[in-house]
Structure 1
Amino acid sequence: MSRSADHRLKDEGSKTQVVLAGATAGLIARFVIAPLDVVKIRLQLQTHPGRTIIQPHPPSTQPPLYKGTLQTLVRIFREEGLTALWKGNIPAEALYITYSAVQFTTYRLTTLGLQSLFSTHPLSPPTESFVAGATAGAVSTTVTYPLDLLRTRFAAQGTQKVYPSLWYGIRSIATNEGPAGFFRGLSAGIIQIVPYMGLFFSVYETLRPYSATLTLPFGSGDAVAGVAASVFAKTAVFPLDLVRKRLQVQGPTRRQYVVGGLAYRGVGGSMKAIVRREGWRGLYRGLTVSLVKAAPASAVTMWTYERALAFFISLDQAKEQEQEATSP
């Protein structure tokens, strides 16, 4: 397989086409997996079986508030209503659109830069994909982190709202926590996203040529590669994702969320505290629903991205042909 064919995801399409395709993929993927995202956040923030803020009973006499994906979905639906499964969806939609656009654009530009820099001695495809993916992840995470933090805090709200509106939440954080409040847990996010995106794109680009040969409905070979890459990468870095979520809800409103309430400081200190209080399994709270969420999210993202990019390319080509046909 030629090098150009093997890297079709990264170097086809103009910058505008890549941005539009990435934003479209992020928008659709976010809406599809929003309920699972809320469930994941609730499970990740449940610090100890039986220890909750809204029902402070001893661990020995009260079971965990949330017990798995299905029970959490049903409980949120019964106690907070159907729309609660999309809590934090406004900042999350902005997050996914912006993140996807920045991610794919950075990935494309980094890849082209590496190919130009190492034109004489090209990097191997997995290495090139890892570096480009890691760079794209770090840049995207930093740019969109305030939206990620807002999404987490809104998803963690129960029937008693901490922030009655998005604008109120932004003003409250800015007033009570300062600009740094919007970046709580960013170090954990960067430490997590660099290996995650590096592994994801490396595995995706490795599997994509093989999955493309599969005969599946709707041409979903890209989705298969996306699912496999996401499951592998997500499992590898999950403890850092959990630490990031716990750090994001720190601050003056920490004890007002549905679950949690314990104080955490720094990535290393947080991991030690979690292992000491909850055991090693505590680092993997919500992993199951995270994998369940990651699979369709990555599948929808990559499937939509490939087809949206093809659509925007064909649209621009049609415009060019029309202009050529009408020009004197």
Structure 2
Amino acid sequence: MPKLTPLGDATAGTIGSVFANVLVFPLDVIKTRMQVQSKALKAVQATQHYNSALDALIKIYHHEGIQGLYSGMTAGLFGTVVSSFSYFYIYGTIRGAYLKRIGNAEITTAMELILGALAGALCQFIVLPIAVVTTRQQTDHESKGHSFMEVLKRVVHEDGPQGLWKGLRASLVLCSNPAITYGVFERLKAILLKRQEGKPAPLTAGQVFLIGALSKTLATVVTYPYIMAKVRMQWRPPKNIDELSDEDREALQYKSSLDILRKVRKSDGFRGWYKGMSTQILKAVLCQAILFVSKEKLAEYTLLLFSLFEANRNGVIQAAQASA
């Protein structure tokens, strides 16, 4: 079966990512709000302090309605499209170039990680401003009802253009997340294919779902403290923090990802680094597993679509040449 071009692979991956993220978006809102909550804020944000994911689901729905569970979805899905397309395109391009260079040799796990990290790093410079806007819309009540461009302009007005790239260092560290995910996925996939007797057959949807879930779980557990730190860098504390003590206000002012990790550990212990992790894992695993399954299927349809488009284009060219 012919392989997709980087453009085709990016298209299939993007469609799969959007589909997966629409299904799990409420979990994204819940985990983001849990990541930015702290003991200091509990006194001034009682309705936004959650004891668990279920508690968050109930409170958000009770106080904000169903739309609260989809806060920032437009920006979030836009970010998913841009992130997924750019990642799959860049990853497919550099991986294809590397395969041509090494010929029939097999790509090592280390190289899979390097290629994934490189693709992820290049993507961050493109998608980070969208992530900042999404985080604000999910956590800042003043941003509710405002469009993507309105929130983006507010960020620039308050923090300058550099505010659109808050959390860049943490994001670059987190490039290891997709690298681990795809590296482990490719290794597990290769192992399963080799164990099949006779001519290798495509993996079943169940097998793809399982190894996708295992891959993403491992990546999430390893990188979660920086996932939390990135969100807090992009978050804006509420205006009513003036009601807090000087010590509590200082604890909510962050200079860097390491500063966040230090302050969170001081106030909440190491457990604070993993606030909302169960929701993050559930969301990430479901999203990634759905993505892997849908991408494998969508790749077939995308290849067919691209083939039909190419055949139609060639037919038009031949007709034009015949009439000339």
TM range (shorter): 0.7 to 0.9
SS of the equivalent of 1:220 reads helix
SS of the equivalent of 1:66 reads coil
Mapping of residues 117-266 of structure 1, within 5 Å: 117-119=101-103, 122=105, 124-157=107-140, 160-162=141-143, 164-166=145-147, 167-193=149-175, 195-210=176-191, 219-250=205-236, 254-256=237-239, 262-266=252-256
Name the counterpart of 2:80. Answer: 96
**In 2: Cα distance, 1:99 partner to 1:318 partner:** 27
Q: Is the 8 A contact 2:71 2:144 kept in 1?
A: no
- CA deviation vs aligned residue, 1:227-274 (integer Å, no higher than 9, x gap): 111000010000000010111114xxx22499x971111122221111
Q: Is the 8 A contact 1:226 1:299 kept in 2?
A: yes
Distance apart, 1:279 and its partner CA: 0.5
TM-score by structure 1 length? Answer: 0.83
Are residues 1:32 and 2:18 paired? no
Distance 1:255-1:29 versus aligned 2 partners, 3 A rule: same
The gaps in structure 1 that reach 5 residues or longer are 1-7, 56-62
Instruction: Kindly indicate which of the two structures has a greater share of residues assigned to helix.
Output: 2
**In 2: Cα distance, 1:320 partner to 1:217 partner:** 28
Are residues 1:112 and 2:103 paired? no
Distance apart, 1:216 and its partner CA: 12
TM-score by structure 2 length? Answer: 0.84
- CA deviation vs aligned residue, 1:275-327 (integer Å, no higher than 9, x gap): 11110111000110011111110011111222222111112334555677896
**In 1: Cα distance, 2:100 partner to 2:296 partner:** 24
Matching residue's letter, 2:174 = Q
- CA deviation vs aligned residue, 1:208-236 (integer Å, no higher than 9, x gap): 235566x9997332222211110000100
Identity of aligned residues (%): 19
- What is the RMSD of the two structures over their aligned residues, measured on CA atoms? 3.0
Q: Is the 8 A contact 1:156 1:257 kept in 2?
A: no
Distance apart, 1:106 and its partner CA: 1.1
Distance 1:205-1:279 versus aligned 2 partners, 3 A rule: same
Distance 1:154-1:307 versus aligned 2 partners, 3 A rule: same
**In 2: Cα distance, 1:16 partner to 1:153 partner:** 31
Distance apart, 1:172 and its partner CA: 1.1
Higher mean displacement: 106-115 or 228-237 = 106-115
Q: Is the 8 A contact 2:6 2:88 kept in 1?
A: no
Name the counterpart of 1:58. Answer: none
Mapping of residues 42-121 of structure 1, within 5 Å: 42-48=33-39, 51-55=42-46, 65-119=49-103
**In 1: Cα distance, 2:258 partner to 2:145 partner:** 33
Matching residue's letter, 2:264 = I
**In 1: Cα distance, 2:221 partner to 2:124 partner:** 19
Work out the number of aligned pairs and report it.
Answer: 304
**In 2: Cα distance, 1:267 partner to 1:98 partner:** 24
